[in-house]
Amino acid sequence: MNRQESWGSKLFDVCNILFMLVLIMVMVYPILYVFSASISNNAMVASGAVLLWPKDITFIAYEKLIYNPDLWMSYWNTIRYAIVHTVLTLIVTSAMAYPLAKRWLPGRRIILMLAAFTLLFNGGMIPTFIIVQKLQLLNSIWAIVLPSLISTWYLFIMRTFFEGLPEELEDAAAIDGCGTIQILIRVVLPLSLPVMATIGLFTAVNQWNAFFNALIYLQERDMYPLQIMLRNILIAGANVQGEGDMTYLETLKYAMIIIATVPILCVYPFIQKYFVQGTMVGGIKG
């Protein structure tokens, strides 16, 4: 590759890098601003003195939130929902995906088709709501977990993964006298940690970020997850300080965004590679 690059090609590279720098700024600025505003003086934020860097640094907004019992309640609810959802999803999805990976299993095609059809058509918001209501799940953790227990995409990702495992290992275990369920637990699942991690993380993050099911299925305050609390403060304009006290109104909003997002931002650098892999497996073979 000794050939001189053309002038146009170099110009393209420079423009491309400039474009990427602009892109980085556009992506990072809102997040940076939210952080700056959350630790600035409320009056400065409201009047527009804060445009990028924090001014008159104070942690008063965080202090106000930390002493708010509703916040901790909703935090705990979100953690609870995310853990239960993730564990159940992994169990039920892998239990269903494993038989579906056996090409010789009678009835496999019909079940796959039934699952795939739900990607194209569904009953819609109201009939699903009525089912949840009839089952008397309203206002319980099960209204949050069960209606979205299996994602058909994840089911297909897992099935594709299981199909790729060498069958000899399972045969060997069967000869050693292992039953089907033992093979799944002792042989297949230990080999499937990457796909389990990916789907588990996807499920946990989705549940962390979800708000709509909680909005329609939960009525009681002490069941609210973080995102509902966030919505009430940011959008519906609920006041965490009590009636009439507007002293920290703006900074409180930004601090609340940070508190709700920090767990995701903290784990993101470590897990994003799983997400990328997961999307690719699902996209190419799903």
Assess 194 for contact with other proteins (CB under 8 A).
no
Concatenated DSSP letters of 56-79: S---HHHHHHHT-HHHHHHHHHHH
What's the closest the beta carbon of residue 168 comes to other proteins, in angstroms?
19
Instruction: Single out the residue of 18, 72, 239, 283 in contact with other proteins (rule: CB under 8 A).
Output: 283
Do 159 and 97 form a contact (C-beta atoms < 8 A)?
yes
Question: Taking contact as CB under 8 A, which single stretch among the options 26-34, 68-76, 168-176, 186-194 is the one that binds other proteins?
Answer: 26-34
- CB-wise, 175 or 284, nearer to other proteins? 284
Assess 198 for contact with other proteins (CB under 8 A).
no
Q: In 136-151, which positions are buried (b, 16+ CB within 10 angstroms) versus exposed (e)?
A: ebbebbbbbbbeeebb
Instruction: Single out the residue of 57, 111, 172, 262 in contact with other proteins (rule: CB under 8 A).
Output: 111
- CB-wise, 60 or 286, nearer to other proteins? 286
Assess 33 for contact with other proteins (CB under 8 A).
yes
Instruction: Single out the residue of 210, 218, 223, 240 in contact with other proteins (rule: CB under 8 A).
Output: 210
Per CB under 8 A, contacts with other proteins among 127-156 are 127-131, 133, 135, 146-147, 149-150, 155
Question: Taking contact as CB under 8 A, which single stretch among the options 56-64, 167-175, 239-247, 277-285 is the one that binds other proteins?
Answer: 277-285
Assess 262 for contact with other proteins (CB under 8 A).
no
Q: How far is CA 239 from the centre of its chain?
A: 27
Would you state the structure tokens that stand for residue 147, as one six-digit string? 């209606």
* Residue at token pair 């979100």: 78
Concatenated DSSP letters of 30-59: HHHHHHHHHTS-HHHHHHT--SSS-SS---
Question: Taking contact as CB under 8 A, which single stretch among the options 62-70, 163-171, 188-196, 271-279 is the one that binds other proteins?
Answer: 271-279
* Residue at token pair 């239990």: 95
Give residues with Cβ within 8 angstroms of 198, minimum separation 6: 157, 274, 275, 277, 278, 281
Q: How far apart are CA 251 and CA 262, in angstroms?
A: 16
Per CB under 8 A, contacts with other proteins among 59-78 are none
What's the closest the beta carbon of residue 87 comes to other proteins, in angstroms?
13
